[in-house]
Amino acid sequence: MEFRIPVGNWIDGFFDWVEDTFSWLFEALRQLFIWMFDAVDWIFATPGPIIIVIVIAALGVLARGWKFGAGAAIGLLFILSVNQWENAIDSLALVVVAALLAVAISIPLGIWAARNDVVSAILKPIMDFLQTLPAFVYLIPALALFRIGVAPGIFATLVFALAPGVRLTELGIRGVDKEVVEAGQAFGASPRRILRQIQIPLAMPSIMAGINQIIMLSLSMVVIAGLVGAGGLGGDVAQAISALNVGLGFEAGLSVVVLAILLDRFTASFGQRMGLYARWSKRRDDKRAADEQAQLDAAHETVGGRRATGASAA
């Protein structure tokens, strides 16, 4: 008789217990995911395609110049011309919801890990596990807990995209110059103020790189999420695979590429602006600290001069 460890049976039993015990929680999360998706989808779908194209093109001009703005308009018009606009809006809404939730979870976890070595030691193997687990495997617990539809797609995308945000946030906070932190401590700043005014601004380029990775991983997972009924461009890709429809698959795939380029360039531009603001803020704080120190030195010299004058008069 061949020996076999029943790992699958243990996992099945665990998920059955989780589903029976916390069904109320997962139903509440399912409704929350659906509500957030519908809200974001309504925001992008209501103005109409042409208005969205104009707004995105204008933002592209402001962010990276007229060439990027024109390219953004051409890419969005291509999506509209191949009749993939509604699917693209659905996919964009799913990416936005999943990425926002992933950022809201990963950045606090990364900050916590950067400030606590025990938390960092616990989170590292978990993040390694999440990054090495095949993407399709995420769909299995998502379907078991949230049933078919957009909710399992958001959950699977959220978990899949979580790790880089945690890692790069921790790396950015730990990479802040210790002398700068010690200078803040010397001026009597509390740990929370040091985190808010020194560490986070200086670590912002790394944090923004993590956010960029979250968005890119979310968009890559959207196509796979189409297999669980999440719809959007992923639904058309899944349909093209099942029907061997090469044309439909390329139309949906190229639409995903357009969204990926736009999201990547916009987040990269925002990250550069945040990095410039962080450096300007640091120079401003350094100048303010130097001015305060100069004022203290001047006050000490004035007091010392008065004391010397009084002593000579006596």
Residue in 91, 97, 86, 123 with CA at minimum distance from that of residue 108: 123
What pLDDT sits at residue 201? 83
Residue 304 DSSP one-character state: H
Rounded to an integer, what distance in angstroms lies between the CA atom of residue 210 and that of residue 37? Answer: 23
What's the rounded Cα separation, in Å, for the pair 113 and 124? Answer: 9
Domains, the chain, ordered by start: 15-46+82-294 (1.10.3720.10)
Q: What pLDDT does residue 168 have? A: 92
Q: Given this model, what pLDDT does residue 100 score? A: 92
Summarize the chain as % helix, strand, coil (round to 5).
90, 0, 10
Identify the pLDDT of residue 105. Answer: 93
Amino acid of residue 168:
L
Rounded Cα distance, 272 and 31, in Å: 36
- C-alpha span between 119 and 117 (Å, rounded): 5
Predicted local distance difference test score (pLDDT) of residue 234: 82
135: DSSP letter: G
Q: What is the pLDDT of residues 12-58, one digit of tens each?
A: 888 888 888 888 888 898 899 999 999 999 988 888 889 999 998 99
**What letter represents residue 121's amino acid?**
A
- 3-class DSSP state for residue 48? coil
- The per-residue pLDDT for 74 is 92
Residues of the chain where predicted confidence (pLDDT) is lower than 70? 1-2, 271-314
Residue pair 236/252 in contact (Cβ under 8 Å)? The answer is yes
